[in-house]
Amino acid sequence: MKKWFAVIGDPIEHSKSPEMHNTWFEEMNIDATYIPIHVKPEQLEEAVSSLKLLGANGWNVTIPHKETIIPFLDELDELAEKMGAVNTVVRTEQGKLKGYNTDGKGFVHSLEEAIGNQHREKQVLIVGAGGAARGIAFALKQYGYKNISIANRTIGKAEAIINELEIGSAINLLQAEQTLDSFEIIIQATSAGLANGDFQLPFSLEKLQPEAIVADIVYNPLKTYFLNSAEKLGARTVNGLGMFVHQGAIAFEHWLKQYPNTNSMIKRLTERLE
Ligand code: ATR
């Protein structure tokens, strides 16, 4: 029987997930389809019952439902539980709804696709301590990264993540700026100014090591001000598009037990965004 999947969110019309998953279905000869569904906050419970009733095999969850969907699910995987947020739902063979969070792992897959997996001993700095930073921190730890610092404008939020992670240290943005030369992988995970497309963090990269690897979670624009500045100083950069594609690929694998081709998808979407 044809399988079907969806993404629910509000707004939803700009989501690139339908194009991405439908392209993978086509490339891999999988008899399935993926549709965007606009679900307002007050419609969430009804939407989940309807998806279940109508036999959706799984779906993605985006803003603003990632946290509020949890009470309507039967089970959560470990990372989703730690994050208190779900971006992927799987309908199991027993008909149960299981929630996953593939965002943080998506980031790690993207980073390691770009730089390999031999950098797990390096000193990592995550800038930001919101939901995205939190997911990345837990996923990095799960993949064996040992030295993780978190810098945030509100240091209490960075401390809260570090206490839960049980490794690393929390610093403020000024300390991060002053000790930047001690970090080998730097991840921009704040949402500062996302709404207007590009932004400038109140954070100078002056002390960046030229051999550092600098990543951003933002993919529109592909080259953020942060990445541009890092590149000018000689660093190797990883943009946020890989994280988006890999979070989708991990969801795809939960649903269909196969990992789709992320490289060609990144190329395809890069052309669109450049
Ligand atoms: P998300 O779920 O996308 O991570 P969030 O939970 O709202 O979004 O977190 C936003 C992050 O961006 C936080 O780390 C926030 O810093 P604070 O915790 O101090 O608020 C950071 N951020 C947003 N705007 C910022 C700005 N102008 N300067 C520095 N940090 C900023």
Cβ of 191 below 6 Å from ligand 1? yes
Q: Report the C-alpha gap between 150 and 186 in whole angstroms.
A: 10
pLDDT score recorded for residue 45: 98
Phi-psi region of 55 (alpha: psi -120 to 50; beta: other; left: phi over 0): left
Q: 113: burial class by Cβ within 10 Å (0-12, 13-18, 19+)?
A: middle
Nearest CA to ligand 1 atom 16: 153
The minimum-distance atom of ligand 1 relative to the CA of 202 is: 28
The b/e string for 212-245 (b: 16+ C-beta within 10 A; e otherwise) is bbbbbbbbbbbbbbbbebbeeeebebbbbbbbbb
Q: Which CATH class is domain 104-239?
A: alpha beta
Ligand 1 midpoint to CA 189 (Å): 8
Same fold, 3-101+242-273 and 104-239: yes
pLDDT score recorded for residue 274: 82
Angle (CA) 180-215-88 rounded to 5° is 130
Ligand 1 midpoint to CA 177 (Å): 17
CATH superfamily of 3-101+242-273: Leucine Dehydrogenase, chain A, domain 1 (3.40.50.10860)
pLDDT score recorded for residue 145: 97
Residue type at 233?
L
Ligand 1 midpoint to CA 264 (Å): 31
State whether residue 198 is helix, strand or coil: coil
Model ipTM? 0.96
What is the token pair recorded at 241?
């598009």
- Sorted by sequence, the CB contacts under 8 Å of residue 38 that are 6+ apart come out as 8, 9, 10, 11, 12, 13
What is the longest distance spanned by two Cα atoms in the chain? 59
Nearest CA to ligand 1 atom 2: 131
Nearest CA to ligand 1 atom 31: 192
pLDDT score recorded for residue 269: 96
Q: Report the C-alpha gap between 43 and 202 in whole angstroms.
A: 39
Q: 271: burial class by Cβ within 10 Å (0-12, 13-18, 19+)?
A: exposed
Nearest CA to ligand 1 atom 26: 192
Residue type at 208?
L
State whether residue 177 is helix, strand or coil: helix
pLDDT score recorded for residue 221: 87
Q: Report the C-alpha gap between 96 and 83 in whole angstroms.
A: 21
Selected catalytic residue, list 40, 66, 105, 207? 66
In DSSP notation, 78-117 reads: HHHHHHT--SEEEE-TTS-EEEE--HHHHHHHHHHHHH-S
Cβ of 190 below 6 Å from ligand 1? yes
Ligand 1 midpoint to CA 192 (Å): 6
Active site residue 52: no
Q: 254: burial class by Cβ within 10 Å (0-12, 13-18, 19+)?
A: middle
pLDDT score recorded for residue 203: 77
- Which residues are documented as binding site for NADP(+)? 78, 128-132, 152-157, 217, 240
What DSSP designation does 214 have?
A: E
pLDDT (tens digit, 0 to 9) for every residue of the chain, 274 residues total? 899 999 999 999 999 999 999 999 999 999 999 999 999 999 999 999 999 999 999 999 999 999 999 999 999 999 999 999 999 999 999 999 999 999 999 999 999 999 999 999 999 999 999 999 999 999 999 999 999 999 999 999 999 999 999 989 999 999 999 999 999 999 999 977 554 555 566 678 999 999 999 999 999 889 888 999 999 999 999 999 999 999 999 999 999 999 999 999 999 999 988 8
In the chain, where the domains are located: 3-101+242-273, 104-239
